[in-house]
Amino acid sequence: MKCAITESTNIQSTPKDLTEIHLVRPIKKEKIEWLLNNRPLTKITLSSSCLKRLPKKTQKKIKDKGASISIEKRRGRPIDLPLEKIREIIELRKDYQSIRDIERITDVPKSTIHYLLKYAERTKIKKGNTIVYLK
């Protein structure tokens, strides 16, 4: 499982089977150490600007614990709809329903439906306060 981690993320509430994290911004060394010691992390992804701001000692600590660091570009905001609702919207569109009809049926704004349909290849969704990456 992969989750996005920010400075305000409660790391104790992260899933026990967390193997990958994406650092949105650099976090404190103590939080990274806790994650490395208490979760089976194998990979940490972050943007190139975040890597520049991550201290060298922290990078060394991550590599010493056996986790890899890789740069990843994932732009855009995660979709804040339940996966079942997204599936319903896609199925209704496959049944040749108009965007306005889908809006009436699902109570989702038409601009969100259009965005969803245009970018149906999205790889991250928001589940509560957690960002989940789809593979």
Q: Say how far residue 86 (Cα) sits from the centre of its chain.
A: 16
- Indicate the pLDDT class of residue 114, thresholds 50, 70 and 90: confident
How far apart are alpha carbons 74 and 57 in whole angstroms?
26
Q: Determine the average pLDDT of the residues in 31-46.
A: 91
pLDDT the model gives residue 37: 92
Q: Determine the average pLDDT of the residues in 74-101.
A: 82
pLDDT the model gives residue 84: 85
Q: Describe the strand order of the beta sheet including 124-127 as a list of residue ranges.
A: 68-71, 43-46, 20-23, 2-5, 130-133, 124-127
pLDDT the model gives residue 120: 62
pLDDT the model gives residue 42: 92
- Indicate the pLDDT class of residue 6, thresholds 50, 70 and 90: confident
